[in-house]
Structure 1
Amino acid sequence: MAWSWRFVNADGETMMNDEGTPAGQGVEFPTQADAESWIGEHWRNLADSGVDGVTLLEDGREVYGPMSLQPPE
């Protein structure tokens, strides 16, 4: 089982990396807890680089999301 994140922009579109694959999906985690810990540590940098939201995937299947990376208003 592999866990990963899919990054979306403000329009809700999947962001792509330089290789033309969905951004975020290249980094895999062995557990959901590892993936959630990673996003908790990196969400500010991701938001600063244009990522508006993330969706958690388990072996390519959406678990939840998109979850906004923007601070609450």
Structure 2
Amino acid sequence: MAGNDVDETAHKGCMGMTWRWRYEDANGGEVTDRPLPREIFSNQADAESWLGETWRDLLESGVEQVTLMEDERVEYSGMSLRPE
């Protein structure tokens, strides 16, 4: 039975954390009233790279800022999509 415990632990480790963007309006409220991409990433770098490629489209869709989530934990929040 110990082998099964190891396999289950290894399987859980493979699942890892998931990263996603929460899309927000200018006041920090989540934008849920329109179809937006719901991408899930296996790491922070992939999530940030994707945002770097798509932020203009998100801004045109009415997203003003984003929050990066690792599962349910906030990595950072309130990042504006508007150029400085």
Q: Provide the TM-score with structure 2 as the length reference.
A: 0.73
Residue 16 of structure 1 is matched in structure 2 by: 32
Residue 61 of structure 1 is matched in structure 2 by: 73
The residue type paired with residue 77 of structure 2 is G
Q: What CA distance in whole angstroms lies between the structure 2 residues aligned with 1:69 and 1:50?
A: 10
Q: Report sequence identity in percent.
A: 49
Q: State the Cα deviation string for residues 2-36 of structure 1 (Å, max 9, x = none).
A: 000000012321111569xxx65x32101100000
Greater relative contact order (Cα < 8 A, sep 6+): 1
Q: How do 1:1-73 residues align onto structure 2 when only pairs under 5 Å count?
A: 1-17=17-33, 26-72=38-84
Q: Cα distance 1:37–1:10, how it changes in 2: closer, same or farther (>3 A)?
A: same
Q: What CA distance in whole angstroms lies between the structure 2 residues aligned with 1:29 and 1:43?
A: 16
The residue type paired with residue 65 of structure 1 is S
Cα distance, 1:71 vs structure 2: 1.3
Q: Please provide the CA RMSD for this pair.
A: 1.8
In structure 2, the gaps of 5 or more residues are 1-16
Structure having the higher Rg: 2
In structure 1, the gaps of 5 or more residues are none
